[in-house]
């Protein structure tokens, strides 16, 4: 996010505000659809955008803007959830999340299958696990940024992330590793090691030991390939596409904000 844009939006420039909202909208929308199942995604998105416009003057920039945007999104999400407490639980809306990943039709079929498997696997995770995967592996927040939006320590975030990735791998095991042999009693916890390595927290010696084991063990090798593919699909699902519906919500938020600031002066 561009600091100059942020400053202009803060100063009341409607075009800058619209650009800013448009930039954050795809991330917010993906997060809402996965984390607020059963609620009206458009309502939550609209509420998040409105709350961004009204709270932007008080955003101090101590946390990254992305962290703060997800904090607002989570608040809007839980407000909806409280309001919807008595409604019957609905299944996750995964269909709207399928991005057109690749221009090659054959490749696209595989991408779509992967992406659907991933959607189902994510939907099956506990919400606190799904949430960290979304922030860190789908939206690409750094560990400190994700920790800030969840209001937990970086250490807590990382240990939750390690468990979440292991759970994701379990959920995807039938898809990616159906033919792989079971791990032996000598196998280390490769998922935990791998996840630590992604966070830059694995010592060079432990890393070398892991690599050596992976070379000789088809079970753990398959597990790592599976996790790598899953994370790759996570990253690929992060498209900057803004739907026309979302664009309309952005416009409405900017208009409401402009109207309110004109009244205030
Ligand atoms: Zn092994």
Dihedral angle, C-alpha 128, 129, 130, 135, nearest 10 °: 90
**Is the Cβ–Cβ distance between 18 and 247 less than 8 Å?**
no
Ligand 1 center to 192 CA (angstroms): 13
Domains of the chain in sequence order: 1-94+241-265 (1.10.1740.10), 100-238 (1.10.10.10)
221-233: pLDDT as tens digits? 888 888 888 888 8
**Is the Cβ–Cβ distance between 121 and 168 less than 8 Å?**
yes
**C-alpha distances in angstroms, 264 versus 72, 258, 259?**
23, 10, 9
Ligand 1 center to 238 CA (angstroms): 32
Ligand 1 center to 198 CA (angstroms): 19
Q: How confident is the model at residue 103 (pLDDT cuts 50, 70, 90)?
A: low
Ligand 1 center to 4 CA (angstroms): 51
For residue 109, the model assigns a pLDDT of 60
Ligand 1 center to 230 CA (angstroms): 19
Instruction: Specify the pTM.
Output: 0.82
| Residues whose CB falls within 8 Å of the CB of residue 156, separated by 6 or more in sequence, listed in order | 147
48-60: pLDDT as tens digits? 999 999 999 888 7
Locus of tokens 């607020």: 36
Whole-angstrom distance, CA of residue 66 vs CA of residue 72:
10
Ligand 1 center to 240 CA (angstroms): 38
- Which has the closest alpha carbon to 9: 19, 131, 64? 19
46-101: pLDDT as tens digits? 999 999 999 998 887 777 888 999 999 999 988 887 775 444 433 333 333 334 44
């Amino acid at each position: 996010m561009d600091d100059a844009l942020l400053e202009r939006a803060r100063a009341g420039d409607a075009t800058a505000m619209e650009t800013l909202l448009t930039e954050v909208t795809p991330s917010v929308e993906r997060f809402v659809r996965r984390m607020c199942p059963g609620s009206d995604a458009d309502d939550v998105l609209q509420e998040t955008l409105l709350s961004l416009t009204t709270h932007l003057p008080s955003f101090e920039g101590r946390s990254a803007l992305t962290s703060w945007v997800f904090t607002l999104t989570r608040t809007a999400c839980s407000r909806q959830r409280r309001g919807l407490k008595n409604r019957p639980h609905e299944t996750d809306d995964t269909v709207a999340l399928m991005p057109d990943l690749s221009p090659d039709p054959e490749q696209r079929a595989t991408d779509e299958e992967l992406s659907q498997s991933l959607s189902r696997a994510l939907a099956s995770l506990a919400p606190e696990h799904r949430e960290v995967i979304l922030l860190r592996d789908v939206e690409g927040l750094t560990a400190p940024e994700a920790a800030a939006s969840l209001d937990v320590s970086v250490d807590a975030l990382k240990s939750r992330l390690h468990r979440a990735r292991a759970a994701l791998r379990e959920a995807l095991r039938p898809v990616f590793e159906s033919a792989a042999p079971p791990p032996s009693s000598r196998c280390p916890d490769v998922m935990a090691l791998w996840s630590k390595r992604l966070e830059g927290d694995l010592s060079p010696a432990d890393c070398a030991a892991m690599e050596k084991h992976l070379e000789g063990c088809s079970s753990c090798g398959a597990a790592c390939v599976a996790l790598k593919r899953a994370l790759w699909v996570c990253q690929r699902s992060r498209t900057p596409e803004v739907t026309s519906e979302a664009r309309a919500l952005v416009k409405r938020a900017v208009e409401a904000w402009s109207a309110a600031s004109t009244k205030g002066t």
